[in-house]
């Protein structure tokens, strides 16, 4: 059997028969790139840590030391904020002020919220759902979760992949916009803007490494992703005070000089894609306020469905979290029997709030979600966002990759 003493990129392994008296045979050193890894509900999102050199704190330190004149910007997810708030017994808003203070003290000129990217994604998803509903009986499968996307590309047919939403994830939308916004506002060349994202799961490191999410010069639009756990070690949130810096609000990626509000969006702690996509469908139909959605559980709490009438048209929605439920939906899709118009798919049981990069706490994910809900907007807050060139810059597509004999085909 193969004996691995360390799980890291570029490891050296030894091969033998497992006995104490064996003579081990050194194997050739192998380099594991981020795009080779499937970080779904397997090793990366378990208690283990995978060191990927291109997405590590060591890389960040090296880049910063070698490029002191570069402009550094960061995007922070609300799930990561909620996790840190839970660890340090803070309200969501209190955690935000400390996190932003830490980021600015650490030299980040702009601090963006991925919620702004979510708003853009929801709007584009609403348009996409309307188009799909009018031309096809196939569902829109949400694409915000890179663990589910990686699994789909390695196991599903082109027919299934064509039903995945073409809308980029909130992280990727901020990636497409942040460098240009910072470059224009500060008069710094775009290739000297370095974009870091703080996310609840290691899968987002996979997403940032995708070839289609790169600048024209080949550099990533999101240069480096840090998990909540990594940021906790880096910024020492407990030691921060919101008085550490005079500017405490998020920066808006769309509007210069405007603070983006500190809040989360209705629809659930995984981004609210199902609910808020329908909100934008309702906005297009002139139905305001948008309808309230009541999801009911099916075989388990991570598989839910809802029906709603918008503009005289019935829409059926579902949320499928965890691979057991994802596979159940995919079986329906393959047989042409999927009853849903839109499915919010997330690899992690419990969704993004329970991502593998979150801080593990004894109270469980319910308490983390309670912190997240403490910053919910009092109204649905649906708005129209004007983004130049949205169809070109904020959409993508997914293609099948070569299948291998691995655990990817396991049925949960």
Asked if residue 411 has pLDDT above 70, the reply is no
Instruction: Report the alpha-carbon angle 223-176-389, nearest 5.
Output: 165
In contact, 203 and 212? CB cutoff 8 Å: no
- Span of 111-120, 180-189, 248-257, 385-394 with lowest mean pLDDT: 385-394
Give CA–CA dist 78/86, Å, rounded.
Answer: 12
Give CA–CA dist 276/279, Å, rounded.
Answer: 5
Instruction: Summarize the confidence of residues 157-181 as an average pLDDT.
Output: 96
> Strand locations in 186-276, DSSP E?
193-199, 224-227, 250-251, 259-260
The pTM score is 0.85
Q: 268-313, pLDDT tens digit by residue?
A: 889 899 999 999 999 999 998 888 899 999 999 999 999 999 999 9
Give CA–CA dist 280/33, Å, rounded.
Answer: 38
Provide the token pair at 340: 């849903």
Q: 350-400, pLDDT tens digit by residue?
A: 999 999 999 987 777 888 988 888 777 655 556 777 776 777 789 999 999
Q: Residue 410: its pLDDT value, please?
A: 59
Q: 208-218, pLDDT tens digit by residue?
A: 988 899 998 99
- Span of 206-215, 232-241, 334-343 with lowest mean pLDDT: 232-241
Give CA–CA dist 276/118, Å, rounded.
Answer: 9
Q: Residue 86: its pLDDT value, please?
A: 93
Torsion angles phi and psi, residue 313, rounded to 5: -115, 135
Give CA–CA dist 264/5, Å, rounded.
Answer: 42
Q: What is the mean pLDDT of the chain?
A: 83
Q: Residue 7: its pLDDT value, please?
A: 31
Q: Which residues, 6 or more positions from 85, have their beta carbon under 8 angstroms from its beta carbon?
A: 91, 92, 94, 95, 368, 371
Higher pLDDT, 1 or 170: 170
Q: 75-125, pLDDT tens digit by residue?
A: 999 999 999 999 999 999 999 999 999 999 999 999 999 999 999 999 999
Q: How many CA atoms lie within 13 A of 297 on its CB side?
A: 6
Q: 14-42, pLDDT tens digit by residue?
A: 333 434 344 545 555 544 445 444 444 34
Give CA–CA dist 78/81, Å, rounded.
Answer: 5
Q: Which residues of 125-153 are buried (b: 16+ CB within 10 A; e: fewer)?
A: bbbbbbebbeeeebbbbbbbbbbbbbbbb
């Amino acid at each position: 059997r193969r004996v691995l003493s360390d799980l890291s990129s570029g490891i050296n392994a030894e091969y033998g028969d497992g006995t104490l008296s064996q003579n081990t045979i050194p194997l050739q050193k192998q380099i594991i790139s981020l795009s080779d890894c499937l970080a779904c509900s397997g090793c990366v999102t378990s208690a283990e840590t995978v060191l990927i050199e291109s997405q590590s704190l060591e890389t960040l330190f090296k880049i910063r030391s070698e490029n002191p004149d570069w402009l550094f910007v960061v995007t922070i997810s609300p799930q990561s904020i909620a996790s840190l708030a839970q660890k340090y017994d803070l309200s969501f808003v209190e955690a935000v002020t400390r996190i932003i203070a830490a980021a600015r003290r650490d030299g980040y000129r702009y601090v963006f919220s991925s919620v702004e990217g979510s708003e853009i994604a929801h709007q584009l998803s609403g348009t996409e759902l309307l188009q799909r509903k009018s031309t096809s009986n196939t569902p829109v499968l949400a694409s915000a979760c890179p663990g589910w996307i990686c699994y789909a590309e390695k196991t599903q047919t082109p027919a299934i992949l064509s039903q995945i939403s073409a809308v980029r994830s909130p992280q990727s939308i901020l990636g497409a916009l942040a460098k240009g916004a910072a470059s224009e506002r500060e008069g710094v060349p775009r290739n000297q803007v370095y974009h870091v994202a703080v996310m609840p799961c290691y899968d987002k490191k996979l997403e940032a490494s995708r070839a289609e999410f790169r600048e024209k010069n080949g550099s990533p639009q999101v240069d480096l992703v840090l998990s909540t756990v990594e940021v906790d070690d880096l910024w020492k949130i407990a030691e921060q005070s919101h008085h550490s810096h005079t500017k405490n609000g998020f920066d808006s990626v769309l509007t210069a000089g405007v603070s983006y509000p500190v809040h989360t969006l209705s629809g659930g702690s995984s981004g609210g894609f199902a609910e808020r996509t329908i909100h934008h469908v309702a906005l297009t139909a002139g139905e305001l306020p948008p309808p309230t959605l009541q999801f009911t559980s099916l075989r388990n709490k991570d598989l839910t469905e809802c029906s709603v009438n918008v503009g005289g048209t019935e829409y059926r929605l579902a949320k499928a979290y965890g691979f057991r439920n994802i596979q159940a939906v995919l079986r329906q899709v393959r047989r042409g029997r999927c009853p849903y118009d839109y499915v919010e798919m997330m690899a992690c049981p419990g969704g993004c709030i329970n991502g593998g990069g979150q801080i593990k706490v004894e109270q469980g994910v319910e308490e983390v979600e309670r912190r997240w809900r403490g910053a919910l907007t009092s109204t649905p807050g649906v708005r129209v966002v004007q983004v130049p060139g949205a169809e070109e810059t904020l959409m993508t597509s997914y293609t099948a990759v070569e299948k291998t004999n691995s655990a990817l085909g396991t049925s949960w």
